[in-house]
Structure formats: structure tokens, C-alpha cells
Amino acid sequence: MIAARRRRLPIAMSLREAEDIAGRLGKPSKLPGYSYGLDARRCRRGGQMRGVPGSVCSTCYALNDFYATWTPVAKGHSKRHDGLEHPLWVDAMVTLIAHHCRPPNHYFRWHDSGDLQSPEHLERIIDVCRRTPDVRHWLPTREYADVAEVARRRMLPASMLGTIVDLIPALAAAAFPPNLVIRLSAEMVDSEPVVPMELSALPTSTVQTAAGLPSDRMPSGRSARQCLWSMPRVLGRARAQRELPAALREDAQ
């Protein structure tokens, strides 16, 4: 019992030790805070969409010569990918984010290049977010299946939901930490993302041309913080807690 409890405790780790495991964080010039990127050539859904004309991934910025040929970027992506399976990866990321992401730059973007590698990868990211509650995390992704799988694992069993199936999207949104915004990114330019029903309460993002769908322009600076890291799904969380039968509320938290 004591040994098991010790394994769950946070590991004291220096910044250098954390970087040796997870690699260094990025510092985007157009966004506040820090970021974390992987090699876009390892994207699973993106790899399928790369050859589809009109898809966002067909013109991916993370596949240009700068990302593909500049040695420091390539080495950084490789090191971060190798570290994903390290048993102390979560502790390393918590150490890095806690060190760098302090107010007023307490914002963190997951995958300024690359994407989720598996549902287990998302589970570990969730652990990092829970252990850095004062940091606002933004995770754009096209790996809808991974998000849906993790949401199903964390939701109440269908047999317990009974007649409140219409609350499944809100419950799925509530399955993720309140300081993590998962944005489902559209696959095609000038098109809305087509997402699983249980993820319909999560925010989405699109890529649009001047002749495409009407939309608000994506702002930068302070307005970007309000937009990219905003959490409209909190309304879904509140509705789920309000309408869920009292006997099930505690289990849904």
C-alpha cells in the first residue's frame, strides 16, 4: 500500500532532468505562453488527409522546409516523440510547464505541430493539466477518435444514463479538466468539422478562404487568449450538473 502510494506522488525533478526526458518547450511569437510540438509526419489522421485536395493537411505549415530540414527543429521533434513513453513523462511536462508558464503567460498550447498519438497520450496530457491547474491549456486536434475514446472511458456507463442520452455531449465535455480546452479542428478548408455526436459540446475551429464560410476573424494578442483558450463547453458542464439526477452527479464528477 505504501509503495503504491509513493508511486503516485509527484517526482521532484530539475529543469534539466525534465528536458532530458520530454525535450524543451517552444515559444511561439504570435501567441502568449509556451508550446509543445511533434513531427507532423507522424500525424495519423493528418497523414491520411495529406493527399486529399482541399484538406487543411494538404498545405500543412509544419511540413515545409523549415520544419523538415532545419536540424534543431527536427532533433527537438524526435526527442519529444521518444520521450512520450518514458515513465516519468508526465512529471517532466509538469516540471517544464510549471517553470515556464507563469502569469501573465500562464497559457500553454499542445502540438503547434503534430497531433495526438493515441488515447493513452491524451490521458497523460490530462494528467499534466490536472497537475498544473493554474495554467490554461489549449489542445487543437483532428484525432476525434482518440478524444471520443477517452471521453467514453471517463463518462458514466450508458446503462446508468437511462433516458438522459441528450446529455451525453455535455457529460463528455465535463470529462476533461476545466483548464483544458480541446478544439476539434476541421479537416477540409471552408468546411465545418464533422464530429461524433458525443463530442458535439466541444469547441471547434475551421480554416477559411476569403470566398469561404463567413466567420469572425481570429484575433491576436489579448483577444486570442480570450478566443483560443475560452471554454464554451463549461456551459455544457453546468447544464449536465444541473439536469443530471442527483444520485448520479457525484459519479459524474
Residue that the C-alpha cell 477517452 belongs to = 150
CB atoms within 10 A of CB 30: 7
- What digits encode the pLDDT tens for the residues 202-241? 998 888 876 654 544 444 444 444 455 554 433 333 333 3
Phi then psi for 217, rounded to 5 degrees?
-70, 145
Report how far apart, in Å, the C-alpha atoms of 13 and of each of 8, 92, 208 are.
15, 7, 43
Q: Are residues 116 and 122 in contact, defined by beta-carbon separation less than 8 angstroms?
A: yes
Share above pLDDT 70 across residues of the chain, in percent, rounded to a whole number: 71
d(CA 218, CA 214) in angstroms, rounded, equals: 12
d(CA 219, CA 187) in angstroms, rounded, equals: 21
The ranges assigned to domains in the chain are 12-208+219-252
pLDDT at res. 117 = 97
d(CA 25, CA 105) in angstroms, rounded, equals: 14
